[in-house]
Every structure is written in C-alpha cells, then in structure tokens.
Amino acid sequence: MQTNSATPIKAPKLTLRKPDGTDGAAVWELVRACKPLDENSMYCNLIQADHFRDTCVLAELDGEVVGWVSAYVLPHDPKTVFVWQVAVSEKARGQGLGGRMLADLLSREACDEVERLQTTITRDNDASWNLFKRFAKREGASLDSEAYFTRDAHFDGRHATEHMVTITLDKEEMRKAA
C-alpha cells in the first residue's frame, strides 16, 4: 500500500499586536531598512513602543518584525490620530499589510473617539500617497491635503515640504464594513 509521506507546508503566520518596550530595537532596524523614512534614535522608537503602545501597531511574520505603524492621538485634539511613520519590510510589501495595520489602529479602543486620521507626506513618496489614498477609498472616507511643514519655513531648506493629509472617517460606514 502506498502512503503519502509528504510533510504539510505550514503557511506563514502574520500577527498584528501592540508593541512594548522590548520591541524598540527591532522597530529601529526595520525603519532603517525602509527608505526613504527618516531614521530616529533607537531611544525614540523605544519610547514610541512603550508610551504610545495603544496607538502603535507591530506586525510579525512567524515572529519576525515586518511591519510598523507609529501613531498617537493629538494631545490637543482627541478626535485626530496622527500617523507618524508606516514601515513594511520589503519581503512583506504589496500584500495590503500597510492598509491592514492602519485599519487595526483605528479599531483600537484608544481610537474610539477618533474621527480623523492625519499624516504628512512629501510629494515624491508615491508608495505612501497610494497607501493612504487606497486606505481612504476602502474606508469610504474623504482625503484632503495641503502643504504644511514647508522646506524653507520649517526645515531651513534641508528637507522637502511635508503635505498634511487628512482622512475624514465615516465611522458609521466603517462599523458596517467591519
């Protein structure tokens, strides 16, 4: 009698979770590998992962960190969540992970009162524009943008103008889609 001795292939396991302080170093490595993101200090990523864990998202593929969203609710406006950085490792790109992490962020209890998502993007970052446009479309939300941190007034000529992107959420629509 013939038996099938082939070992079943295990599908890679993707998990999204809140970070903690011990994730700071891995996040720092991921951000460094995701050009053109600005690199911050490891200490900065550690503080994000620790103090802002309720509004940051870590994605792991079989335990390896492959995705990161740093964000916080604006201290002066509890209805706005500001996304600082989104990073997806090259090996996990083009599969919707960036959008999934943004959706996960907005589903958190910390975002219950949130009605707007904001982020800033430089004109030349097509991947980032497409990520947020795609996300807004999927959520049935509107997207506006305007120059905000400008090359000369804010960056002393050393950095391209950052455009403030505002995605106004339709919470009712999102609840229905969830």
Which residues contact ligand COA by CB under 6 A?
Answer: 34, 36-37, 85-88, 93-99, 125-128, 130-131, 134
Q: Which is nearer to ligand COA, 73 or 101 (CB)?
A: 101
Least separation in angstroms between residue 124's CB and ligand COA is 10
Least separation in angstroms between residue 156's CB and ligand COA is 22
Least separation in angstroms between residue 5's CB and ligand COA is 37
Which residue minimizes CB distance to ligand COA? 98
Cα separation of 94 and 109, whole Å? 28
Least separation in angstroms between residue 47's CB and ligand COA is 18
Q: Helix, strand, or coil here: 20?
A: coil
Q: Which is nearer to ligand COA, 13 or 35 (CB)?
A: 35
Q: Which is nearer to ligand COA, 57 or 97 (CB)?
A: 97
Q: Which is nearer to ligand COA, 19 or 99 (CB)?
A: 99
Question: Quick one: 85 exposed, middle or buried, by C-beta within 10 A (0-12, 13-18, 19+)?
Answer: buried
Q: Which is nearer to ligand COA, 15 or 95 (CB)?
A: 95
Cα separation of 19 and 30, whole Å? 14
| Cβ-proximal residues to 131 (8 Å cutoff; 6+ apart), any chain | 86, 98, 99, 102
Between β-strands 77-88 and 116-122, what pairing exists: parallel, antiparallel or unpaired? parallel
- DSSP 8-class letter at 54: G
Closest among 145, 154, 79, 146 to 113, alpha carbons compared: 79
Least separation in angstroms between residue 174's CB and ligand COA is 17
How many beta carbons lie within 10 A of that of residue 45, not counting itself?
26
